[in-house]
Amino acid sequence: MKFLVDKYDVAVIGAGHAGIEAALAAARLGCKTAIFTINMDAVGNCPCNPSIGGTAKGHLVREIDALGGEMGKTADECFLQSRMLNKGKGPAVHSLRVQIDREKYKNVMKYKLEKQKNLDLRQAEIVDLKRNEKNFWELTTRLNAVYEAKTVVIATGTYLSSRIFVGEVSYKSGPDGIFPASFLREALKKLGLRLRRFKTGTPARILRSSIDFSKLEVQFGDEKIIPFSYENKNIGENKVCCYIGYTTAKTKEIILKNINRSPLFLGEINGVGPRYCPSIEDKFIRFADKERHQFFVEPCGLNTDEMYIQGMSSSLPEDVQIRFYRTLPGFEEALLMRPAYAIEYDCVDPIQMNSTLEFNALPGLFGAGQFNGSSGYEEAAAQGLIAGVNAALTVLNKPKLRLDRSISYIGTLIDDLVTKGVTDPYRMLTSRSEYRLVLRQDNADERLTPIGKKIGLISEKRWEDFLNKKFLKNQELKRIKNLIILPSKEVNDMLVSRETSAIKSGTRMIDLLKRPQINYECLAEIDKKRPKLDDEIFEQIEIEIKYKGYIKKQLSQILKMKKLEQKPLPKKINFSKIIGLRLEAVEKLNLVRPENISQASRISGVSPADISILLIWLSKNRRESLK
């Protein structure tokens, strides 16, 4: 017998990285919100690598924070080691990555959910989801409890009908031995959602004391720690070291000799795995000529001796794992605390959603995270934030939030998912953005904090700090534009030491800063009246000055794209009736249902000729295009 327990404005299914951001955002916007988790111990879990950020992923975390999300703040609270990746390259690809204390991260996030006003954290497996006669969403738990909600965010991660594979052994389970969501799949299929099967994997965890670290390369953290959150200035020092190692010829021999015992190569795994994070056996097959592969040894926390072996995920049997892990230098006596495994799970075809992450055919139902076909904690959290915001804005009867590609990596991520779809788990890369010099992680606050404030997720104190930072930056820009540096021995000695030409007459400081060899740090030697500002202000100014020409070019491209975005397509348009469109274009356009010409131009299978025909059709049907 079923019984009604409570009614909510927003219900979130899943309390991983996507679900957490969705629930917190909805509750902070004033909506009565519930977040459901199969197990309280799985809230905020990091079942794979114990880290936040990385190449392009660090950009996403910065953007989440700039909008008022939580991941960056919690990563700062729980960090063990911080490193800025790609420092030897241009600023567009600089990406922050931190090792985190895995258990602390879970506990901090769970506590934040518990303390959040308007938010109820509930342990329950949702087994059914449908519209009731009152046009509310009705969620039923495995214990027959019923909850009503005006909007729902599905953020099931890798738990939906999930299955673990280790060699010849396979069983139903979510990550880390948590029960899977076994029944929701059928309810989603009844709603008409197209599901697909993906898979991912995780390496073994090995006891610290069983590793000989003298045989590994030490990887230190950065001396200067840069926080993820713009609200934090000082988060302490690095607490741990990480290590780098390499596989051996014996590793390869054992893996290839036992490849017939891998469920991946036996065809037992039907799910498609992540292209950019293959298992170690897959690496040796795909890159047959490569003699060795790099791996990283990372601590899981301060109060545990579990070490995570990044780059060594596998679905081979445990006995094979023990043997090949012990061929690694320093791992001759390795004790596997948790064997590596592959996990297969259901996710949705994201083409069924629009840029708000709402399903086109199911108003009030949103998807987020790995449920949408992406991979990674950061991609999940970014989608969760947008889905939660839009679920709340729907309830509040306010215009939904749409972030386009030109303003954020989050917009790029969502646009790629809903227009191009996915054939394997989607991972954010800096190369996916055509505007990456504008979408740097250092300026995420300038791009997105005004939007966060407008939505209602940025506090007055944080807004004042943001405006003050902008004021100080503009003052400094004005100062260096007007400051004339006169030639002197001190000045020219500094310039020559930097392998750039001396000056013979007064030169504006901004012109000196344009030189590739010169930076703010070396100018401090001759700039006696330099104000005391946060380093991030100096960094932003220097980047904007040195890359002004490239940035101007990208801004011009963005303006062209904006013009196409201002040409909306009618919601009820039947592309089959537009004469001249190719059959493939008609099929893709009717499937994706793009919101505007710009989005239509990015759909795989829609050619520039098709876009020209759409533009002609719009100009001839102006009234229809406004409907």
- How confident is the model over 335-356, as a mean pLDDT? 96
Q: Which residue has the higher pLDDT, 233 or 227?
A: 227
Same domain, 232 and 321: yes
Same domain, 230 and 339: yes
Same domain, 570 and 524: no
Same domain, 540 and 617: no
Say if 145 falls within a structural domain: no
Same domain, 589 and 545: no
Q: Which residue has the higher pLDDT, 598 or 13?
A: 13
- Residue 515 CA to residue 460 CA, distance in Å, equals 39
Q: Residue 588: which pLDDT band, with cuts at 50, 70 and 90?
A: confident
Residue 584 belongs to a domain with what CATH number? 1.10.150.570
Say if 246 falls within a structural domain: yes
Say if 253 falls within a structural domain: yes
- How confident is the model over 181-203, as a mean pLDDT? 96
Does the structure show a pLDDT above 80 at 447? yes
The secondary structure element, H or E, covering residue 477 is helix 460-482
- How confident is the model over 263-276, as a mean pLDDT? 82
Same domain, 486 and 586: no
Number of alpha carbons in the 13 Å side-chain half-sphere of residue 212? 11
Does the structure show a pLDDT above 90 at 117? yes
String of DSSP letters for 254-265: HHHHTGGG-HHH
Same domain, 523 and 575: no
Q: Is 80 helix (H, G, I), strand (E, B) or coil?
A: strand
Say if 602 falls within a structural domain: yes
Q: What is residue 556's predicted lDDT score, i.e. its pLDDT?
A: 87
- Residue 389 CA to residue 403 CA, distance in Å, equals 12
Residue with tokens 């690496």: 283
For 165-174, 261-270, 468-477, 492-501, which range has the lowest pLDDT when averaged over its residues? 261-270
For 45-59, 145-159, 234-248, 561-575, which range has the lowest pLDDT when averaged over its residues? 561-575
Q: What is residue 558's predicted lDDT score, i.e. its pLDDT?
A: 85
Residue 517 belongs to a domain with what CATH number? 1.10.10.1800
Same domain, 266 and 315: yes
Identify the domain containing residue 293 by its residue range: 205-344
Category of 397 on φ-ψ map: left (φ > 0), alpha (ψ -120 to 50) or beta = left
Domain final residue, candidates 524, 549, 574: 549
Q: What is residue 622's predicted lDDT score, i.e. its pLDDT?
A: 66
Say if 610 falls within a structural domain: yes
Does the structure show a pLDDT above 80 at 276? no
Q: Please, what sign has the CA dihedral across residues 526, 531, 533, 538?
A: negative
Residue 297 belongs to a domain with what CATH number? 2.40.30.260
Q: What is residue 176's predicted lDDT score, i.e. its pLDDT?
A: 92
Q: What is residue 555's predicted lDDT score, i.e. its pLDDT?
A: 87
Closest C-alpha to 364, from 185, 614, 548, 139: 139
Same domain, 222 and 330: yes
Question: Structure pTM?
Answer: 0.93
Same domain, 216 and 285: yes
Same domain, 527 and 621: no
Q: How many domains does the chain have?
A: 3
Q: What is residue 273's predicted lDDT score, i.e. its pLDDT?
A: 82
- How confident is the model over 165-189, as a mean pLDDT? 95
Say if 608 falls within a structural domain: yes
- How confident is the model over 169-177, as a mean pLDDT? 95
Does the structure show a pLDDT above 80 at 623? no
Confirm if 75 and 61 have CB atoms less than 8 A apart.
yes
Q: Directed axis angle between helix 57-67 and helix 444-455, to 10°?
A: 40
In 10 A of CB 19, how many CB atoms? 31
| Percent of the chain residues topping a pLDDT of 70 | 99
- How confident is the model over 362-381, as a mean pLDDT? 97
- Residue 593 CA to residue 361 CA, distance in Å, equals 11
Q: Residue 525: which pLDDT band, with cuts at 50, 70 and 90?
A: confident
Say if 135 falls within a structural domain: no
For 379-383, 571-575, 605-609, which range has the lowest pLDDT when averaged over its residues? 605-609
Express each pLDDT in 91-107 by its tens digit: 999 999 999 999 999 99
- Residue 275 CA to residue 277 CA, distance in Å, equals 6
- How confident is the model over 29-39, as a mean pLDDT? 98
Domain final residue, candidates 303, 329, 344: 344
Domain final residue, candidates 523, 549, 575: 549
For 221-225, 246-250, 616-620, which range has the lowest pLDDT when averaged over its residues? 616-620
Same domain, 297 and 254: yes
Query: Using the 8-state DSSP alphabet, how is residue 488 labeled?
Result: -
Express each pLDDT in 287-327 by its tens digit: 888 889 999 999 999 999 999 999 999 999 999 999 999 99
Express each pLDDT in 538-560 by its tens digit: 999 999 999 988 888 888 888 88
- In the 3-class helix/strand/coil scheme, how is 34-74 assigned residue by residue? EEEECCHHHCCCCCCCCEEECCCHHHHHHHHHHHCCCHHHH
Say if 383 falls within a structural domain: no
Residue with tokens 């959040």: 116
